[in-house]
Each structure stands twice: as structure tokens, then as C-alpha cells.
Homo-oligomer: A and B are copies of this chain.
Amino acid sequence: MTRTIAELAEALGGRLWGDGSITVTGAAEPGEAGPNQIALATGAAYLEKLTAGGIALLAEGTDPEAYGLRAAVLVARPRLAMAGLTKSFDPARGPALGIHPSAVVAESAVIGAGAAIGPFVVIGEDVVIGRNATIYSHVSIGEKTVIGDDVLLREGARICHRVTIGDRFIMNPNAVVGADGFSFVTPEKSGVEEIREGLSQRAEIREQHWTRIHSLGGVVIGHDVEMGAGACIDRGTIRATKIGNGCKIDNQVQIGHNCQVGDDCLFAGQAGIAGSTRVGNRVVLGGKVGVSDNIFIGDDVIAGGGTDIYTNVPAGRVILGSPAVKMETHIEAQKNIRRLPRLYAQVSQLQETVKKLLDKG
């Protein structure tokens, strides 16, 4: 999309400096921007790479003249402005408006106006989809699933049967919503059950076959949720797995059956939440964080990358490590472990000194 820098400044809620008539055709990093690309100087390190004669997005308080710019948009929070700016210039084209002739859409499915549905899409019976859906090739949507307006489903995304999803849902390629939960039972008490009861040795080890518990519940997902490539959200056993509004779920994240996740959570790549766990609002899980089943994570918890959470976490806590503890506690513990060689030497010396004292006495 092409526009003047004045129009762009207005769209971003920023302040224009310099020649507002310059046409902007795209965005680039400082040092790599062409003459009509706006350089994104979102941090101090980028400022020195700005080219004289160029145009840029700057933080308020920066002097565009000092960098010899022709024009600039000044904003309070450049990273936030990037959101609007990248949305304007996103070149992804998507499938053509209408339904591709190769798509297989059930007659009972109801699809809102403005849909663009690509080749080899399969939409099952009684599916309801809102307005302006963009559905790339090879997507499948199972029967009786209901999806809101303005959704974007990328190539190979899988939404199974009887799932409910809000507006503006974004699903990256090969992500999966509504696969069966991982729920099995043995005729007698299993070894895992025994250990959970006491952490002790198992009384007796015997053969155990696993019988499948089917997943009758669906998945209910709120508005403005995004799922990364290969991410999975399993369906519930009896009631639905739930994901609140505004949650952002990165690539290869796994959310188990029956989980109840609040609003505005952020789960980074390869994080995993086992079945039946409840997660509050605005919880942030770093990359590769693991969360045990059947526990509770309070609102506003932040877990650093690689954290393993085995037990409930109170609201507002910042945690790290395996097992997860408060971040300060973890850092202190690591320090204590690093100091151990000195401690061993000190104790050794003490033993010697005390031995001498004893001998003397």
C-alpha cells in the first residue's frame, strides 16, 4: 500500500516532521531503507544507522534534523507504532475473494459475506463462519464448528468438529484446534497413580494396558486469539477446553485437554500446558515452559524460558527454573551452586584447623 508520510503519521497517531508529501512504499531497518522506505529507528542503537536524506519513524524527543532526515514520524512508543505500520505494509496476498472451485464446502455450512477461500479447503456440515474470512489452501474445518468474523486461517490449519471460535482469530500453517485429548485409564490403579499418591516406590509392578477416554468436549476460543505454526489446542473430555480473549500462542505450543486459560495470555514457542490446568489472565510463559496437569497459575504470572511448573503459582509472581521458584530465588540458588567449590575448600580447611585445636587440647 502506498501513502504519503503525512497520511502515515496520521494513521499512526504520530507527529509529522518535515516534508509530508513524500510517498512511503514500505518499511525497512535503518541502513537498509530505500528512498521511499521509512526507516524504523525503534531503539537507540538504530539511530546511528539512519541515512541523511531519508525518512524515519522516531521516538518523541529525537531530533530528526540531527540525522539529516527529510521527514519523520515522531511517536511516544515506536514499538507500538510498528504494529500499525507493519499492518499497513503487509504484502501477503491471500486467496482470491470467493470460494475456489476445488474447495469442498458442505451445503449446510453458512459462510458470511466477503470470504476468500483457497484451493482444497474442506468445510464440514453445519459449520458457521462469520464475515470476511480468509482461508488459505488445505485448511479443514470439522462439522458443527462456529467461527466469528475476520478470521485468517493459513495453509493446512486444522479445526476439528464442534469447536467455537471468536472474531479475528489467526491461525498459522499446520496448527491444530480440537484434536482428541490425551486421556487413558488402566483397569487397575496405574504406576503413575501410585506415585502421585505417595512419591514412594511402587508396591508392585504389573502389566497395564491403556484404555482410551474419548473427548466429548469441544474447544471454546475467545476473540483476538492467534496461534503459531504447528501449535495445538486439544478438545476437552466432557466440557470444553477454553482459551480467553486476546491470547497469543506461539509456534509448537501445546495446550492439553480441559485447560481453562484466561484473557490476554502470551505463550512463547514450544511452551506446553498439560491437561486440566487453569491459567489466569495476562500470564506470560517464555519459550519451552512446561506446566503440569491439574494445577492453577494465577493472574499476571510471568515464567522465564525453560521453566518447569509443577505446582500452583500465586498471582503476580515472576518465576524461573526447574522446579519453578521466584526468579530471585532461582538466581540466588544458581549463585550458591557456583560458590560450592569454595565452600568445600573452606570446610576442609576448618576440619584441619579444628583437628589441630583438638590435638593441641
Chain A residues near B (Cβ < 8 Å): 26-29, 32, 40, 77, 79-80, 82-83, 86-87, 89-93, 100, 102, 104, 118-120, 122, 124-125, 136-138, 140, 142-143, 154-156, 158, 160-162, 170, 172-174, 176, 179-180, 182, 184-188, 191-192, 195, 199, 201-202, 205, 207-216, 224, 226, 228-230, 232, 234, 237-239, 246, 248, 250-252, 254, 256, 264, 266, 268-270, 272, 274, 281-282, 284, 287-288, 290, 292, 299-300, 302, 305-306, 308, 310, 316, 318, 321-323, 327-328, 331-334, 336-341, 343-344, 346-347, 350-351, 353-354, 357-358, 360-361
Q: Taking CB as reference atom, which chain B residue is nearest A87?
A: B214
A40 and B238 contact, CB distance less than 8 A? yes
Which chain B residues border A341 with CB–CB below 8 Å?
332, 336
Which chain B residues border A229 with CB–CB below 8 Å?
158, 176, 179, 232, 234
A288 and B272 contact, CB distance less than 8 A? yes
Which chain B residues border A162 with CB–CB below 8 Å?
91
Docked Cα-Cα span, A185 to B248, in Å, equals 11
B102 and A211 contact, CB distance less than 8 A? no
Least Cβ–Cβ distance between A251 and chain B, in angstroms: 5
A300 and B344 contact, CB distance less than 8 A? no
A sample of 11 more A-B contacts (CB under 8 A), given A40-B238, A77-B188, A156-B156, is: A28-B238, A80-B186, A92-B142, A93-B124, A120-B138, A136-B140, A138-B140, A138-B156, A195-B327, A202-B316, A292-B305
In this complex, the member of A89, A179, A191, A192 whose beta carbon has the largest number of chain B beta carbons within 10 angstroms is A179
Q: List 21 A-B contacts (CB under 8 A).
A: A79-B185, A82-B213, A89-B214, A90-B214, A104-B119, A174-B230, A191-B282, A205-B300, A209-B246, A209-B264, A212-B226, A270-B290, A274-B287, A274-B305, A288-B290, A306-B322, A339-B344, A343-B343, A343-B344, A353-B354, A353-B358
Which chain B residues border A354 with CB–CB below 8 Å?
350, 353-354, 357
B266 and A28 contact, CB distance less than 8 A? no
B264 and A213 contact, CB distance less than 8 A? no
B334 and A300 contact, CB distance less than 8 A? no
Among B82, B174, B237, point to the contact of A174 (Cβ < 8 A): B174
Q: Taking CB as reference atom, which chain B residue is nearest A258?
A: B29
Least Cβ–Cβ distance between A202 and chain B, in angstroms: 7
The 4 closest A-B pairs by CB, nearest first: A86-B214, A179-B229, A306-B308, A158-B173
